[in-house]
Structure 1
Amino acid sequence: MADMLRDKALGKALLALNNAHAQELSWLEPERLEYLISEAFLARRIGRLDAFLLAFDQAARYDSPNFIWFRARYPRFVYIDRIVVAPSARGRGCARRLYSDLFEHAARAGHDRVVCEVNKMPPNAASDAFHAALGFVEVGTASVHDGSRTVRYLSHTPAS
């Protein structure tokens, strides 16, 4: 995805796609997106911009309260910070392909746990169903963003 930062139009499209889903992901400014990509364990996209994923391992310099929650509990993990599929690409398996790629990269790097959070309030039923189908299990909950959002913390291990 570093190529997106060199391609200004693609970088703007990535930012626009992310920010169109800010309720689920969080709003980003261009500089923050650049920083996140530079810290990522894995940054992938499908097509020109059908979908993208950003994930961090436990060593990332990242201040997300959700990431910090996992860091306080697990010595090694890969944290899925954001994944989004463009409306025009939904239903084509993009999210599953990105997760499959992430699971393979995580395993090759010696990680046995992939984690994420999903909004509980406001609810995100599609994400809940997707993660359950992949074998993610709830490992905690928290109120974040000054209580305006409640999240469910999920974990996937090869045995789960």
Structure 2
Amino acid sequence: MSIVIRDVREHELDSVLALNNAAGVTILPLDHSQLRFFYDHAAYFRVAEVDGTLAGFLIALDQDSPYESSNYLWFRSHYPAFVYIDRVVIASAQRGAGVGRVFYADVTSFAETHAPLLTCEVFLEPRNDVAVLFHGTYGFQEVGQQVMIETGLRVSLLAKELASYPWVRSTYLDKPDGRLPDLPWLATRKRKPAVRLATGT
């Protein structure tokens, strides 16, 4: 089995939307405009191909996104810099095949060059023990809980310290040009300039 992780392409958004909305109760549904927002603003929006077939996607945003999710805003009110995993979806036929682990390895490598923390949340209502255990094995720790205003459901807010980031910052980001090497896997996606919105938090 061959797994390839790459940036999403615009013509694939309908397929991504179908994957998202078939994922079940642990993934919030999206409409076309919400998915387009992610395409325009996500720092990381990559898909997985398994033997040439679209098998999943992962979307993550940095601290400068104009995103209004209550979970994202919780992290923005507590931390100055982070990469936030909003959602990861794997097609049902490919679950258990290691696609999620490949995604987390890839997004961690990306995040380590951009922020000191990788963050996300998992549902506690209904409790998703598989997700809790999965994130625990990747070094995430609970840093808070809240009830989402969008759903009324309680979530566990998780963060993972990225050990390589201080070295990346001192070696590259704190230099006069502040640039990472020009390599595709280090680059954020081209996107519209972020507009910081008032959050009231």
| Residue identity matched to 1:55 | A
Matched, 1:78 2:80: no
Normalising by the residue count of structure 1, what TM-score does the alignment of the two structures yield?
A: 0.90
Structure 1 gap segments, 5+ residues each: none
Q: Which has the higher contact order (CA 8 A, sep 6+)?
A: 2
| Residue identity matched to 1:67 | Y
Q: 2:38 aligns with which of 36, 39, 42?
A: 36
Structure 2 gap segments, 5+ residues each: 1-6, 164-201
1:122 deviation in Å? 1.2
Q: 1:128 aligns with which of 132, 145, 155?
A: 132
Give per-residue Cα distances to partners, 1:101-123, cap 9 Å, x unaligned: 111111122x1200001000111
Matched, 1:56 2:91: no
Q: Distance in 2 between matches of 1:147 and 1:103?
A: 28
| Residue identity matched to 2:75 | F
Normalising by the residue count of structure 2, what TM-score does the alignment of the two structures yield?
A: 0.72
Q: 1:142 aligns with which of 137, 146, 159?
A: 146
1:158 deviation in Å? 3.2
- Aligned-residue CA RMSD (Å): 1.5
1:143 deviation in Å? 0.8
Q: Distance in 2 between matches of 1:68 and 1:112?
A: 17
1:31 deviation in Å? 1.4
Structure with max Cα Rg: 2
Q: 2:28 aligns with which of 23, 26, 29?
A: 26
1:14 corresponding residue in structure 2: 16
Q: 1:102 aligns with which of 107, 112, 121?
A: 107
2:73 corresponding residue in structure 1: 68
Q: What is the aligned length?
A: 154
Q: Distance in 1 between matches of 2:91 and 2:116?
A: 29
> By percentage of residues, which structure has more helix?
1
| Residue identity matched to 1:79 | Y
Q: 8 Å contact 2:70–2:150 — kept in the other structure?
A: no
Q: 8 Å contact 2:16–2:56 — kept in the other structure?
A: no
Q: Relative to structure 2, which stretch is displaced further, 71-80 or 96-105?
A: 96-105
